């Protein structure tokens, strides 16, 4: 139950700069999700918050307290490690109870909390087993349980659901969300999963090479990406990017087709269109494209096509079933065309 503040935070491993300089404030009770490509420093950042990595420069506050020099034990955080890090010599029950014992929680309460967490995570039958007798997904749930029995100032989750099957993942995801609302504890959650990020976060922090690209609510990150990287990283399938020439309110595509997007800008730019923002246009209007592949997903259909030699994807209604080779006219949903600076990637409109 505490806010979190990073000020001019820098992290170097030897001479390798992993986090150049990071400023971020996380409010009390907030659920923040860190996303970013592999190696961008998400785990490192969590480990810094936990006190497992020393800070090279800058300050870290939990609540009003500067915690740079506090040990992990003194910081009162709970963490799910990316590699689980269960205690091999303890049973599942003991693994989950250990942190509470270390903090002198009464035995009856320990028991209640462990049983409760075990029920949430569907690992009640495993309580007497040791980690080596568990599957990967079961170990991950125990790691999760070891954190959620605690009542810390901050929860840190490092990809805690990556090894679960789709159904269990959905189930645990909603449990965590419910837990965060019930406990009113600050949570930081690292994930590669778009759905997790979008559904759970109060705010998403997009990282790249240790630098924050954008911080914002999920719909803001999705709807108003700050730059081309964020636009491409969030959303699945990712946004289509086309180099265009802007003139007379229209975008002129590489293969000399034009797409009417109603913009006042001129000159070269990168046009970004999400697959779901292509809409089939009435015959004779829009931009005709040659379908190269059709992927029916059930809920909707992915249509692949080429613009010049750039592969694009449109997500259309499931009853739209064009044939490969068919010519399909597409237009862009009004106000859904994004424009980026071809040099810096910053969003222009």
For ligand ATP, which residue has the nearest CB?
Answer: 43
Q: Which of 31, 81, 222, 338 binds other proteins (CB under 8 A)?
A: 81
Identify the residue among 5, 9, 24, 43 touching ligand ATP (CB under 6 A): 43
Closest CA to 305 of 242, 227, 244: 242
Q: How far apart are CA 230 and CA 264, in angstroms?
A: 24
- Residue closer to ligand ATP, measured from CB, 16 or 297: 16
Q: Which residues pair with 258 in a beta bridge?
A: 252
Question: Residue 158: which of 143, 173, 172, 180 has the closest Cα?
Answer: 143
Options 10-18, 197-205, 287-295, 335-343: segment touching ligand ATP (CB under 6 A)? 10-18
Please identify which residue in 6, 24, 41, 110 interacts with ligand ATP, judged by CB under 6 A: 41
Q: Is 213 in the site for Mg ion (CB under 5 A)?
A: no
| Contacting other proteins within 190-219 (CB under 8 A) | none
Residue 191 binds Mg ion, judged by CB under 5 A: no
Q: Give the length of the chain.
A: 349
The three-state secondary structure class of 292 is strand
Exposed, middle or buried, 104 (CB in 10 Å: 0-12/13-18/19+)? exposed
Angle between helices 136-148 and 92-102 in degrees, nearest 10: 20
Stretch touching Mg ion by CB under 5 A, among 38-46, 97-105, 108-116, 240-248? 38-46
Distance CA 91, CA 298 (A): 43
> Which of 76, 159 has the CB closer to ligand ATP?
159
Does residue 43 bind Mg ion (CB under 5 A)?
yes
Please choose which of other proteins, Mg ion, ligand ATP, none residue 39 contacts, taking the beta carbon within 5 to 8 angstroms, the exact cut-off set by kind.
ligand ATP
- Write out the two tokens for 238: 């990712």
- Cβ atoms of 35 and 234 within 8 Å: the answer is yes
The interface partner of residue 18, options being ligand ATP, other proteins, Mg ion, none and the CB cut-off 5 to 8 Å by kind, is ligand ATP
Q: Which stretch binds ligand ATP (CB under 6 A): 32-40, 64-72, 171-179, 288-296?
A: 32-40
CB of 16 to other proteins, least distance (A): 18
CA distance 17 to 40: 11
Whole-number Å distance between alpha carbons of 233 and 210: 15
Of 2, 6, 9, 18, the one binding ligand ATP (CB under 6 A) is: 18
Nearer to ligand ATP, 38 or 256 (CB): 38
Dihedral, 84, 90, 95, 100 alpha carbons, nearest 10: -140
Report helix angle 136-148 to 166-183, nearest 10.
0
Q: Cβ 210 to ligand ATP, closest distance in Å?
A: 7
Distance from the Cα of residue 337 to its chain's centroid: 23
Distance of alpha carbon 224 from the chain centroid: 16
- Report the nearest approach of other proteins to the CB of residue 145 (Å): 13
Give CA–CA dist 272/30, Å, rounded. Answer: 31
Of 143, 138, 40, which Cα lies nearest the Cα of 82?
143
Residue 13 binding partner per list ligand ATP, Mg ion, other proteins, none, with a CB distance cut-off of 5 to 8 Å that depends on partner kind: ligand ATP
* x-marked contacts with other proteins along 113-142 as a string, rule CB under 8 A: -----------------xxxxx-x--x---
Q: How far is the CB of 75 from ligand ATP (least distance, A)?
A: 19
Contacts with other proteins, residue ranges (CB under 8 A): 47, 50-52, 71-73, 77-79, 81-89, 98-99, 102-103, 130-134, 136, 139, 146, 163
Q: Which residues bind ligand ATP (CB under 6 A)?
A: 13, 16, 18, 36, 38-44, 82
């Amino acid at each position: 139950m505490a806010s979190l503040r990073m000020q001019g935070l820098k992290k170097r491993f030897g001479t390798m700069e992993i986090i150049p300089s990071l400023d971020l404030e996380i409010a009390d009770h907030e659920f923040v999700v860190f996303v970013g490509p592999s190696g961008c420093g998400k785990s490192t950042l969590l480990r810094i918050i936990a006190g497992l990595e020393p800070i090279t420069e800058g300050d870290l506050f939990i609540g009003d307290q500067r915690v740079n020099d506090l040990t992990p034990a003194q910081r009162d955080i709970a963490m799910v490690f990316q590699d689980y890090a269960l205690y091999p010599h303890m049973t599942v029950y003991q693994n989950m109870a250990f942190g509470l014992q270390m903090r002198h929680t009464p035995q009856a309460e320990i028991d209640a909390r462990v049983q409760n967490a075990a029920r949430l995570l569907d690992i009640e039958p495993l309580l007497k087993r040791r980690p080596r007798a568990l599957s990967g997904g079961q170990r991950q749930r125990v790691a999760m349980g070891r954190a959620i029995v605690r009542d810390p100032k901050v929860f840190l989750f490092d990809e805690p659901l990556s090894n679960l099957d789709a159904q269990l993942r959905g189930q645990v995801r909603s449990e965590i969300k419910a837990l965060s609302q019930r406990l009113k504890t600050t949570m930081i959650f690292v994930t590669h999963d778009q759905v997790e990020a979008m559904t759970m976060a109060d705010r998403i922090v997009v990282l790249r090479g240790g630098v924050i690209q954008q911080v914002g609510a999920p719909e803001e990150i999705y709807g108003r990406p700050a730059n081309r990287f964020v636009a491409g990283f969030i959303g699945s399938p990712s946004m289509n990017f086309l180099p265009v020439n802007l003139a007379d309110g229209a975008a002129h595509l590489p293969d000399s087709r034009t797409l009417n997007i109603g913009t006042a800008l001129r000159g070269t730019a990168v046009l970004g269109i999400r697959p779901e923002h292509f809409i089939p246009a009435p015959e004779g209007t829009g931009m005709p494209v040659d379908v190269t592949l059709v992927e029916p997903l059930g809920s909707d259909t992915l249509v692949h096509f080429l613009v010049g030699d750039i592969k694009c994807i449109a997500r259309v209604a499931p009853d739209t079933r064009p044939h490969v080779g068919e010519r399909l006219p597409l237009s862009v949903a009004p106000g859904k065309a994004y424009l980026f600076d071809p040099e810096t990637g910053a969003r222009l409109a």
